[in-house]
């Protein structure tokens, strides 16, 4: 009979597992080739038990990956076959329905063996800049147009990388070195997780992960159920309408709180869109669960047990449950609006808890650059993807964050990293004054961006924007955020989504949306109004007409700024 392990020891091991997967994620950040991973943190990492249930996830990463990836390992076990797995194996896929929702995410899974015994798995996901096909954007009519499909398969067999697979990958993507580098980075970060796990198992004399898994799951499930049990037993509905591609789409949800679970049902949501903004259920589920955990049990670590009481359903071939072969490249546009839809319902059950609506989806665009006529020798085509954010919605007691991505948590890319990735120039990138919705708590500001190509290059831009016609809505008397705008530098309007050619020498000017305000603007603290005016977050007109600041106070702020004094 083995030595009895105390709960204190198990808690230490649980913390160790979380640190292991965080090191795994940080290794991916440091070694990945794609700027989407290195600079924006569009990745995830996790460790699983031998049955494929998630034990711990990294803090670094995005919930769309982690909560979707939580379901992925079971697919790998089923497809590969447990009996065929061996030390040195590494598996991968970018299947949208068995991975994390679109072809641009590569999920890598590595079985972890302790001696000859399979004790668990490590998994990680990274968004890659190019996967072939039409390129990253909403223009495809089916998933077959969106790029190279990699079914669940071996990347490495007992330590030997499949070179045939590597040749196929290189022959089908625009940035082969970058993608292959990312594949090796993914495999390496799993290997780092495995090494650290073996060190932990040796330190605590573990033969398998059964005991620690039971400890994690029992405590997480009990803590989550306690939070749910304390909530009112009731239902509420929520909805929101967003731009869609060529026509608006409406998300509808019914939230039902029971004694031991929360049901989230998207019946009544719009059907599939002809273009690639459709969302597989695995991704919509990831963000619905994330929204509820943030509101109800934010400090309970994510794992299979803490996620299991949140049940998500949607009718097949609604835009949040798109089935194959629907185009899904920009599934994040719909998925990132799921939390605000859930919060529209939850606010009716638990008032003064959830934030006002924010920008929602990331404000991304991809620039496809090609040498123009008479360009010097050595110039080459390039794909530059940049992740950007509008403003977050105000919270009941705190202003919304400026240019911050909620719910994705993905970071805005620095100008330097974007320009280093290809012959692109970011001419302007600054906060958008006045874009946050007014309120007792002000919405976060969006930002301005202006992009063009270096001399000698022409470019197309694939826009991935929303909130053009449907800005973020204020909550409990708060004002709406500013909408998105996109136009050419000569004033010609452009579309919020889709690939568009930009004539030689022209630039694209974008203004990303602001988050909405919370509560009545008449209740805003005067010191906060003065500070906003001094920082340029609000205009003089808004300070006087929306917030009731006197002309005398405005002059005092201007004088203080001129004198270099703090407000």
Residue pLDDT, tens place only, 464-484: 999 999 999 999 999 999 999
466/556 same-domain check: no
pLDDT score at 566 = 77
- Give how far Cα 545 sits from Cα of 444, 521, 556, Å: 19, 10, 17
Strand-pair partners of 125? 44, 107
The domain boundary residue, chosen from 175, 194, 221: 221
395/368 same-domain check: yes
- Flag whether 274 is in a domain: no
Phi, psi dihedrals of residue 388, rounded to the nearest 5° = -140, 165
370/431 same-domain check: yes
Judge contact between 343 and 355, C-beta under 8 A. Answer: yes
Count the domains in the chain. 3
| Among the listed residues 443, 359, 438, the one whose alpha carbon sits nearest the alpha carbon of residue 401 | 443
468/404 same-domain check: yes
pLDDT score at 517 = 98
- Is the pLDDT at 2 greater than 60? The verdict is no
195/139 same-domain check: yes
- Flag whether 337 is in a domain: no
507/538 same-domain check: no
- Flag whether 43 is in a domain: yes
- Is the pLDDT at 525 greater than 60? The verdict is yes
pLDDT score at 567 = 74
Q: How confident is residue 137, by pLDDT bands cut at 50, 70 and 90? A: very high
What is the average pLDDT across 299-325? 97
Q: Which residues contact 517 (CB under 8 A, 6 or more apart)?
A: 356, 394, 400, 436, 437, 438, 439, 440, 441, 442, 443, 474, 475, 478, 479, 480, 481
509/567 same-domain check: no
518/391 same-domain check: yes
pLDDT score at 403 = 97
433/503 same-domain check: yes
Between these two residues, 458 and 379, which has the higher pLDDT value? 458
What is the average pLDDT across 252-260? 97
Judge contact between 61 and 25, C-beta under 8 A. Answer: yes
d(CA 224, CA 59) in angstroms, rounded, equals 19
Q: What average pLDDT is seen over the chain?
A: 95
Q: How confident is residue 372, by pLDDT bands cut at 50, 70 and 90? A: confident
d(CA 89, CA 105) in angstroms, rounded, equals 20
- Is the pLDDT at 400 greater than 70? The verdict is yes
d(CA 367, CA 137) in angstroms, rounded, equals 11
Edge-to-edge strand ranges of the sheet holding 485-488:
424-431, 447-453, 508-511, 485-488
- Is the pLDDT at 246 greater than 90? The verdict is yes
What is the average pLDDT across 426-435? 97
405/545 same-domain check: no
546/460 same-domain check: no
434/549 same-domain check: no
- Is the pLDDT at 172 greater than 70? The verdict is yes
How many CA atoms lie less than 13 Å away from 487 in the CB half-sphere? 7
Domain that holds residue 382: 355-524
- Is the pLDDT at 1 greater than 50? The verdict is no
Per-residue pLDDT reduced to its tens digit, 61-97: 898 887 889 899 999 999 999 999 999 999 999 999 9
- Flag whether 236 is in a domain: no
Per-residue pLDDT reduced to its tens digit, 37-59: 989 899 999 999 999 999 999 99
Q: What is the pTM of this model?
A: 0.95
Q: Which residues contact 79 (CB under 8 A, 6 or more apart)?
A: 98, 151, 152
- Flag whether 269 is in a domain: no
The domain boundary residue, chosen from 166, 192, 221: 221
């Amino acid at each position: 009979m083995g030595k009895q392990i105390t709960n204190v020891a198990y808690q230490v091991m649980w913390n160790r597992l979380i640190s292991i997967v965080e090191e795994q994620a940080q290794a991916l950040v440091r070694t990945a080739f794609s700027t989407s991973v290195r600079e924006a943190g569009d990745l995830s990492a996790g460790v699983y038990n031998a049955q494929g249930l998630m034990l711990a996830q990294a803090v670094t990463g995005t919930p769309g990956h982690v909560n979707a990836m939580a379901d992925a390992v079971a697919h790998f076990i089923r497809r590969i076959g447990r009996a065929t797995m061996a030390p040195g194996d590494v598996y991968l896929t970018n299947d949208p329905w068995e991975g994390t929702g679109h072809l641009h995410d590569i999920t890598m899974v590595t079985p972890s063996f302790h001696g000859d015994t399979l004790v668990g798995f490590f998994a990680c996901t990274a968004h890659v800049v190019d996967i072939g096909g039409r390129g990253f954007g909403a223009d495809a009519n089916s998933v077959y147009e969106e790029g190279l499909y990699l079914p669940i398969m071996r990347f490495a067999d007992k330590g030997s990388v499949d070179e045939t697979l590597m040749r196929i990958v290189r022959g089908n993507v625009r940035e082969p070195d970058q993608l292959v580098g990312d594949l090796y980075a993914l495999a390496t970060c799993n290997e780092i997780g495995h090494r650290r796990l073996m060190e932990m198992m040796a330190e605590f004399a573990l033969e398998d992960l059964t005991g620690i898994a039971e400890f994690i799951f029992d405590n997480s499930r009990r803590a989550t159920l306690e939070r749910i049990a304390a909530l009112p037993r009731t239902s509420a509905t929520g909805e929101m309408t967003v731009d869609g591609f060529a026509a608006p789409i409406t998300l509808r949800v019914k939230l039902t709180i029971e004694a031991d679970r929360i049901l989230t049902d998207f019946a009544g949501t719009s059907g599939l869109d002809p273009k690639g903004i459709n969302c597989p259920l695995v991704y919509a589920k990831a963000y619905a669960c994330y929204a509820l955990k943030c509101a109800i049990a934010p400090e309970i670590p994510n794992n299979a047990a803490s996620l299991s009481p949140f049940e998500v359903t949607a009718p097949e071939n609604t835009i949040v449950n798109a089935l194959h072969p629907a185009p899904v490249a920009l599934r994040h546009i719909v998925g990132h609006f799921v939390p605000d839809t859930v919060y529209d319902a939850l606010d009716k059950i638990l008032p003064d808890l959830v934030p006002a609506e924010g920008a929602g989806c990331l404000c991304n665009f991809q620039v496809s650059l090609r040498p123009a006529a008479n360009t010097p020798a050595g110039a080459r085509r390039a794909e530059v993807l940049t992740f950007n954010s509008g403003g977050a919605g105000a919270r009941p007691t705190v202003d919304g964050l400026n240019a911050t991505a909620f719910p994705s948590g993905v970071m805005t890319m620095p100008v330097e990293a974007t320009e280093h990735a290809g012959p692109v120039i970011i001419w302007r990138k600054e906060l958008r004054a006045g874009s946050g919705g007014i309120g007792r708590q002000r919405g976060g500001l969006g930002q301005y961006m202006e992009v063009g190509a270096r001399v000698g290059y022409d470019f197309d831009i694939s826009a991935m924007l929303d909130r053009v016609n449907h800005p973020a809505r204020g909550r409990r008397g708060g004002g709406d955020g500013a909408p998105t705008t996109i136009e050419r530098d000569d004033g010609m309007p452009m579309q919020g989504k889709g690939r568009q050619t930009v004539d030689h020498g022209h630039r694209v000017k974008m203004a990303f949306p602001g988050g909405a305000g919370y509560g009545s603007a008449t209740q805003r603290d005067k010191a906060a109004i003065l500070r906003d005016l001094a920082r340029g977050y609000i205009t003089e007109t808004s300070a006087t007409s929306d917030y009731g600041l006197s002309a005398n106070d405005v002059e005092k702020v201007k004088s203080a700024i001129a004198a270099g004094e703090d407000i």
